[in-house]
Amino acid sequence: FYPRDRFRFERFAESFIVGVSDGDPVKDGTRDLKVTAESDFNQIHNIRENTNAVVELEFPQQPVRQILFAVGRNIRSIWEIAEIEMYGAGFSAFARYESTIIDLGQPFILGPLIWAGDQPLGASIEVRTRLGDDPDPNLYWRTTFRGDEKTLFDRQGKLLTRETYAALQLGERAGTTHDTRNWSDWSAPIALAGEIGNPIGDRPRRFAQVRADFHSRAETGGRLNYLQFAASPPRAAHIAAEIEPAQVRPGQTTSFTYKLLPHFTGDEAGFDRVEIDTPGRIVSVDAVRIDGRDEGFAVARLDESSFAVQIPHIDVRRSLDLIEIDFKAQVFQYGTVFSGWVSDSTQPYEVAQAVVAGDADVQNDSATLQVALADVGLESIGRVKLGSSICTPNSDRVNDEVRLEYDLLNLAGAALVYIDVCDLSGRKLWTSNRIAHASGRFAVAWDGRDDSGLLLPPGVYLLRLEVETDKGRDRVGRIVSLVY
């Protein structure tokens, strides 16, 4: 910075302070220089005797959003600044792209969203979506000047819009809030392309918005190449769903009934396939009833975490007919959600429509897709079962190994599981591979050998299971005998 040329040697700043702030509100009140009640800065230069008309200063490498330049009192004459020049060779640690509101023209089922780009080590991109029923995700408030009263309407009783809110006098504007009635919240980050997810949104929507957050480092940054999502006409106007029972014992095979109540307005194409996520372990699919009558069905897919059934075609002629699907499953996680989707098997490339938790059956008070666990404690280890407590490794295929089956309960994500065999003094002789498991039922086998593959001497040993959680380690042990 410098004064005008003709005052170069008379009006330079004799003392000044330069400070910086990264704008992080969490750090407010912790920085060196407090300027106002709302802002403070870290001091990087404090020049008390300056004799240079042209001042050049180096800034340390750190994120900067705001710069403080405070000039002290001159002794010889007044001071002035003609120009301040700033040159940065740094980078933006964070950037955000937010699309305009996308109008699809009519309600559609949306998703899954697919995006692709570059995420080098140290950089990340987080892509989110939100969906709505009208073109504005905000609510606009006006101060009435009657105490703390605020209203969504103007003086003529009309709902405030972005345009009419901007036309209010400054003192009348009382801020904006998110329209939770007509718009969803921003979704969780969506995985990079290649990991196809479920449809976005809980029901057909007309409006959509996409946001991408870029986190970068000095040596690397991310790049978003494209993003896209499919849009399909609704299968039904609305599909309420609930599950019964809503509380079960952990790890126990339980008979569930999944109930769906479709509502049609006349324009929807209908569906003939129902897919249900079973975050527990699915055992069997047993029956399908429509409006109380048994119907033929086919299991289109069944694995440990979900299944799909083919049913007679449901359309406007069967609007509000209750659909019931009986199946057996085991639940290991408190608050397990059994999400569901419907689709048309003749149109496999159309987006499936999600069902919405609600009162599908007026005779049942469940109105939820979430299943709780009864009589569950704080321990992460539930049922533990030995196939046999005796190991006879003589290759006759009878008790050649000991099989340990165990249930893990209420784990928030995956936890490390340690399985060891020790002698009675506590010395470890065999250790399984360290594995990470979420809640569920698992098994491991021990063949009577140590870590080097040598057969251990006959005797009594302790088979020990440990699970590492955020609250510490849970342990159980079982005595096994090695005989040969």
List pLDDT tens digits, range 204-248.
Answer: 999 999 999 999 887 888 899 998 888 999 999 999 999 999 998
Q: Determine, yes or no, domain membership for 466.
A: yes
Q: Is there a single domain that holds both residue 456 and residue 412?
A: yes
Here the CATH number for the domain that contains residue 352 is 2.60.40.740
List pLDDT tens digits, range 67-115.
Answer: 999 999 888 889 999 999 988 777 888 899 999 999 999 999 997 888 8
What is the Cα–Cα distance from 76 to 80, expressed in whole angstroms? 13
Q: Determine, yes or no, domain membership for 121.
A: no
Mean pLDDT of 10-33: 89
Give pLDDT, residue 308.
Answer: 96
Q: Is there a single domain that holds both residue 402 and residue 335?
A: no
Q: Is there a single domain that holds both residue 353 and residue 385?
A: no
Residue 379 has pLDDT above 80, yes or no: no
Q: Is there a single domain that holds both residue 426 and residue 469?
A: yes
List pLDDT tens digits, range 304-319.
Answer: 789 999 999 999 999 9
Least confident piece of the model among 16-20, 122-126, 316-320: 122-126
Residue 376 has pLDDT above 70, yes or no: no
Q: Determine, yes or no, domain membership for 253.
A: yes
Here the CATH number for the domain that contains residue 422 is 2.60.40.4070
Q: Is there a single domain that holds both residue 426 and residue 363?
A: no
Residue 419 binned pLDDT confidence (cut-offs 50, 70, 90): very high
Give pLDDT, residue 145.
Answer: 93
Which of 54, 71, 88 is the last residue before a domain boundary?
71
Q: Is there a single domain that holds both residue 280 and residue 388?
A: no
What is the Cα–Cα distance from 333 to 438, expressed in whole angstroms? 9
Q: Is there a single domain that holds both residue 289 and residue 352?
A: yes
Residue 409 has pLDDT above 90, yes or no: no
Which of 50, 71, 92 is the last residue before a domain boundary?
71
Q: Is there a single domain that holds both residue 251 and residue 357?
A: yes
What's the number of domains the chain is made of? 3
Q: Is there a single domain that holds both residue 328 and residue 392?
A: no
Give pLDDT, residue 198.
Answer: 63
Q: Determine, yes or no, domain membership for 306.
A: yes
Residue 377 binned pLDDT confidence (cut-offs 50, 70, 90): low
Q: Is there a single domain that holds both residue 368 and residue 396?
A: no
Q: Determine, yes or no, domain membership for 160.
A: no
Which of 355, 373, 391 is the last residue before a domain boundary?
373
What is the Cα–Cα distance from 247 to 380, expressed in whole angstroms? 18
Mean pLDDT, the chain, integer = 90
Query: Residue 406 sits in which domain range?
Result: 381-482
Listed in order, strand segments (DSSP E) in 368-458 are 370-373, 381-386, 390-391, 402-408, 415-422, 428-431, 435-437, 440-446
Q: Determine, yes or no, domain membership for 359.
A: yes
What is the token pair recorded at 480? 């096994």
Q: Is there a single domain that holds both residue 434 and residue 353?
A: no
Give pLDDT, residue 197.
Answer: 57
Q: Determine, yes or no, domain membership for 180.
A: no
Query: Would you call 294 helix, strand, or coil by DSSP?
Result: strand
DSSP per position, 355-394: PEES---TT-----SEEEESS--S-SEEEEEES-SEE--S
Q: Determine, yes or no, domain membership for 183.
A: no
CB of 216 closer than 8 Å to CB of 94: yes
Of 383, 384, 404, 379, the closest CA to residue 473 belongs to 379
Q: Is there a single domain that holds both residue 253 and residue 366?
A: yes
Residue 195 has pLDDT above 50, yes or no: no
List pLDDT tens digits, range 450-481.
Answer: 999 999 999 999 999 999 887 788 889 999 99
Higher model confidence: residue 128 or residue 395? Answer: 128
